[in-house]
Structure 1
Amino acid sequence: MSDDDYVYDEESGEWLSAPELAQRRSTSAQVEVRDSVGNLLSDGDQVTLIKDLDVKGAGQTLKRGTLIKSIRLTGDAQEIDCKFDGIKGLVLRAEFVRKR
């Protein structure tokens, strides 16, 4: 191997191969989103609300036990994007849901 195949990683202070450095950066960029009991959430999961939530701007309350289908992760560790009938652009905090 030549010296061109290794890259200095400023975060760890180590010389790493280019593919290894790319893998470390991609895994560190992913955010883990966990529900109220610690289950790992991913895109497309179904969740259930664990408490009644007033939806600002919609004049509506989502009741405890409501099933939300097909969530999307937003990149924030505490927010998930969802669709629900009659509410456009619904974003929920992960601490108020449980994976189904």
Structure 2
Amino acid sequence: MDVKDSNGNILNDGDSVHVVKDLKIKGMSKTLKRGNIIKNIRLTSSPQEVECRVGKSHVVLKTQFLKKA
């Protein structure tokens, strides 16, 4: 199963990614701004989602809003 970012690059566990669009996260007052770097992502069972850590929270993001750093 290949997990691809918005540009078609293959993502692996431990990669760093950029956010390509401002994202409002449910349950958090914080908004992820475009250009933020998220380090050390983890792949999930779904090819359209990755799990990562933002601050002290663990969140699941869709790969269509990410690009490989």
Q: In structure 2, what is the Cα distance between the partners aligned to 1:56 and 1:94?
A: 17
Would you say how many aligned residue pairs link Structure 1 and Structure 2? Answer: 69
Q: TM-score, normalised by structure 1?
A: 0.67
Counterpart in the other structure of 1:40: 10
Deviating runs (4+, > 6 A) in structure 1? none
Q: Name stretches of at least 5 consecutive residues in structure 2 with no aligned partner.
A: none
Q: TM-score, normalised by structure 2?
A: 0.96
RMSD: 0.8
User: Pairwise mapping of residues 1-100 of structure 1 onto structure 2 (< 5 A)?
Assistant: 31-86=1-56, 88-100=57-69
CA offsets per residue over residues 16-66 of structure 1, 9 Å max, x none? xxxxxxxxxxxxxxx210000000000000000000000110111100000
Give the number of the structure with larger relative contact order, counting CA–CA contacts within 8 Å between residues 6 or more apart: 2
Q: In structure 2, what is the Cα distance between the partners aligned to 1:62 and 1:77?
A: 21
Larger radius of gyration: 1
- Say which structure is richer in helix: 1
Match for 2:33: what amino acid? Answer: K
Percent identity, aligned pairs only?
A: 48
